[in-house]
Amino acid sequence: MSIEWNDNQPIYRQLRDLVVQRVLDGTFAEGEAVPSVRQVASDYNINHLTVAKAYQALVDDGLLEKKRGLGMYVITGAREALSKNEQQKFLEEELPAFAQRIKMLGLEMMKVTAMLREIEKGSS
């Protein structure tokens, strides 16, 4: 398994975000174990301390819990909490940046809105 790490943020943060994405898309189900630190370190050819730091960040965020002798598990309710958090982040950070970019490019908001509706119809 390989992944392209970018230089914009630390690898542990990118790995944390990858786990978040997998919880959101259901790959890592609530109540289920996530891959072990050693397995992830081996799969992605990264230091096990980096993986441990990413997992600890997820524990600190209340998304994973450590079960002694069993590993790390996704907490029940993690997906809903993440969804709400990601929606809020999108509305507060990404949407305003998107709107600013539309304005900067001189695009008409109505045209962009129509295109978004077409995209939505195509994915339904």
User: Is there a contact between 33 and 39 (Cβ–Cβ < 8 Å)?
Assistant: no
The model's pTM is 0.74
Helical segments of 1-124, H only: 11-24, 37-44, 48-60, 78-89, 95-105, 109-123
The Cα 33–Cα 115 span in angstroms is: 40
Q: Is 3 helix (H, G, I), strand (E, B) or coil?
A: coil
User: Is there a contact between 34 and 71 (Cβ–Cβ < 8 Å)?
Assistant: yes
Q: What share of the chain in percent tops pLDDT 70?
A: 98
DSSP 35: P
pLDDT at 85: 85
User: Is there a contact between 18 and 6 (Cβ–Cβ < 8 Å)?
Assistant: no
Residues in the chain with pLDDT values less than 50? none
pLDDT at 123: 76
pLDDT at 2: 60
The Cα 93–Cα 75 span in angstroms is: 26
pLDDT at 1: 53
pLDDT at 86: 84
